[in-house]
Structure 1
Amino acid sequence: MKLEQVVLRPYALPLKQPWRAAHATLGERRGVLIGLFSQGLAGWGDCAPLPSFSGAQDRADTFAALERAAQSLRGAALDEGLAGLAAIDNAQARWAVETALRDLSARRDGLPLHRALGAAAASQVAVNAAAGPLDESCASRVAAARQNGFDIVKIKVGLADADEEARRLRALASETAIRFRLDANRAWSEAEARRFLDAVADLPIDGVEEPLAQPTLENLRRLQERCPFALAIDESLFELGPEKIFAARATRRLVLKPARIGGLAATLRLARQAAAAGMEVVITSVVDSAIGVAAAAQLAAALDPARAHGLATGPWLARDVAPPLPLRNGALVLPDGPGLGLVPSGEFAEF
């Protein structure tokens, strides 16, 4: 199957309101779609550098790597493209290219992408709601999530005093019956983290991601041992080292962003290693486009569709590159069609 056309489509998607984390505030999502065409079929991938980890030069380097990869794919065979993925040295560009190649391959074979990855058929993927920061409006967003059938809601913490946020969370828990998934994005010292976690230990908390500003396997283990809920490693994964993390079991959970891992196959491999070490695995994204979310959802379906993954961020976007996957009773509904099951629409489909 020869790739007859390769296209790149930049986008800038405004958010309905700022997405705040401890070290970044996001007002729009910028990226580039890559489309691969052959025999009347198209495969799509999304390259959107992660805002929490990428400066302007990193974003430029990522898009340059995607352009180089696109040039090398023009006129190549599909199997050659898959075999050459390791030559793409930028993880986020490699994720986009592999997604497009595997989307095209799965469409050729008439299989949803998660089935092409070797998984059993799945109709949906459980997700947590994304309620943003623990601010004055958080209670209304949490209430809306509960009304829409979500059992778990994710809240950004580490944006105010730890003791004040613990009080806010306790007040919020008294108002609604829902479980909280918290993300501190490495905001706290060990003393601050200990105070916060101790203060909320009796609340219905599903887990807390990246509590420490300077994490080590030792201080994470100390915190995990005193917590009744899971602590999670996310952006500290490569700083601490996957193999060391699996051996130490310093936390109970690993959160994986496939774009940072560098592709579908690499994420599947890492997730299975984590599961073999006894860790829970959650797939997540950072307000990605509908194409990026669909790819991550297909990956989550191949791993564990029943676990709540962090992929329900589409409602934060004021517009999108394609109709997003439907959200129903706390789950993303997977398309019936082959591959990703969706394609760009409107201006993003014009070539």
Structure 2
Amino acid sequence: MATLKALVVLLCVLAPYFASASIDGLLPNGDFEERPKSSLMRGTEVMGHDSIPHWETGGFVEYITSGQRQGDMLLLVPEGGHAVRLGNNAYIKHKMGAVKGQSYSITLTASRTCAQAEQLYVSVPPGHGILPIQTVYSSNGWDSYAWAFVAPSDEIEVIIHNPDSEDDKACGPIIDRVAMKQLAPPRARRGNLLKNGGFEEGPYYFSNSSEGVLIPPMADDDHSAVPGWAVKSLKSIRYIDSDHYTVPEGRRAVELLAGKEGVLVQQAKTVPGSLYVLSFMVGDANNECKGSMVVEAYAGSASTKVPYESSGRGGSKRAMLKFVAKSRLTNVVFFSSFYSTRSSDMSTLCGPVLDEVKLIRVRRKPRA
């Protein structure tokens, strides 16, 4: 009986970690709607390190209510009524369980306020990433970003940190939602040498978000929020879904937003001297992105430019590139030839949609 009671106690202690390890959605109080007690606030400033339920804080952290004013600036929150702002050298931290060695992605919604060069550090120590939020991709000023990591242990800390110091300590990015998703390992499927060619596996996508999820530039291909693919450039690409956009195939695709500054790359195993065909679909997202678009595709030393005339109402076409592999590893690269903006506001960045990318070996290396 004593052993049974001890087991029950142990399971009760470990239950939160098992639940967190398989989380697919908002972190506990990830939308910050559970507010600090009034006694733990000084104006909008959060006092104490554990005043926000489920979060630890440090530095100058504010609890923001949608509609409040800061001088001439009106602070708005896209979902719910509350968010947090990270002032000078401030951070929020959430501890949770995970599966060691498993890949996860964090999706968060953020907006910059006063400073022009604001950025966010997202980390699960010892790994970290930088979200360059100084470029605003949406018309309402709020963007959702994804960052991926491999769990270093069975208990992790998710840290979101504003490293900047401004003259006004209240200046800094606002965070509205934080979610997490476990990612499936990328694998090449039969009939396609590329992994996740349809972009169906990717970061958590807020169901009520109409602006997609930005995938920022990354240095490490193994830690990608869109498994198998890396963004090797200065700007982000947008991960989109069929509930809010037109997607050529399946439920997910990517939108190439930043011209030659938004480059999508995957490295494939090839046999030197063999002939390959790279096929893919190009279209528009039905998001008022009108006009002439061009997607450039590279496979090793071969390349093609695929023009697409967009009405901004959805549509797609298939393209292909034949090439002979020169080495055992071939980089498959995509980007848009130039920037585009939505015709509805002439400011929101947009671009061609890429989907259903396939690489097939069609002829073996001829015998000597």
- Choose between structure 1 and 2: higher helix proportion: 1
Of structures 1 and 2, the one with the larger relative CO (CA 8 A, separation 6+) is 1
The TM-score range, normalised by the shorter chain, is under 0.3
* TM-score normalized by the length of structure 2: 0.21
Larger Rg: 2
* TM-score normalized by the length of structure 1: 0.22
- Choose between structure 1 and 2: higher strand proportion: 2
